[in-house]
Amino acid sequence: MDQREPRKRIQYVKKGLPAIEDGVAFIKNKSSDHARRIFVEVENIHIELWFDKHYHDRHQYGDEDGKREGIDPKTVEDLVKRSLKHLLFYSSAVAGFKFMNFFSLPPPVRVVLQEESNGSKLNVVIEAHCLRINNCEITVKTAMCTDDFRMPMGQYCIEMQGDSSILSRCDNKKMVEICSI
């Protein structure tokens, strides 16, 4: 009789069951190697967006150079909305940066939001005030679509680039990058 090779067998793969999450286990987090999560909460912040009369007049009637193009309310509103998370992140992560004004401490802090728009740079100046613990209002003071927007010494600027951004500050008439996400 002929000796033939043994038939190939089906390989069985042991499949492990997914790990069961232990809700009271001590696990690693950013602060400790052994910590237990107690709760998770999502906080809501009520934000009101306002347009200052100066911005409104610049959009409607322009200035001595004529009507300002590229500063329509929808574009400006979209830029402000997309920059909110970046403003909150930078105010928590960068020492010395704050954008929120509390009560009536003069002079009010303003931040310039920038974004490339139709071959030019859209510049939006905002002023934010805390009204209550989870309620704030943001006012668009002015907007201008120009590449040579002048900023005063110490002025903070957030340049939006899609989902990322760069926080800069004007020092000696030059923009110095502080942080980026």
Splitting the chain (181 residues) into consecutive groups of 10 residues, what average pLDDT does each group show? 78 75 87 92 94 92 77 95 96 93 84 92 95 94 91 94 95 92 92
Residue 176 token pair: 């110095």
Look-up: residue for tokens 């002025």? 155
Please classify residue 167 by burial: count the beta carbons closer than 10 Å to its beta carbon, then call 0-12 exposed, 13-18 middle and 19+ buried: buried
Question: Cβ contacts of residue 167 below 8 Å, gap of 6+?
Answer: 86, 90, 94, 97, 156, 157, 158, 177, 178, 179, 180
Distance CA 63, CA 65 (A): 5
pLDDT in the model for residue 1: 58
Q: State pTM to two decimals.
A: 0.81
**Euclidean distance between CA atoms 78 and 75, whole angstroms:** 5
Residue 165's pLDDT is what?
A: 96
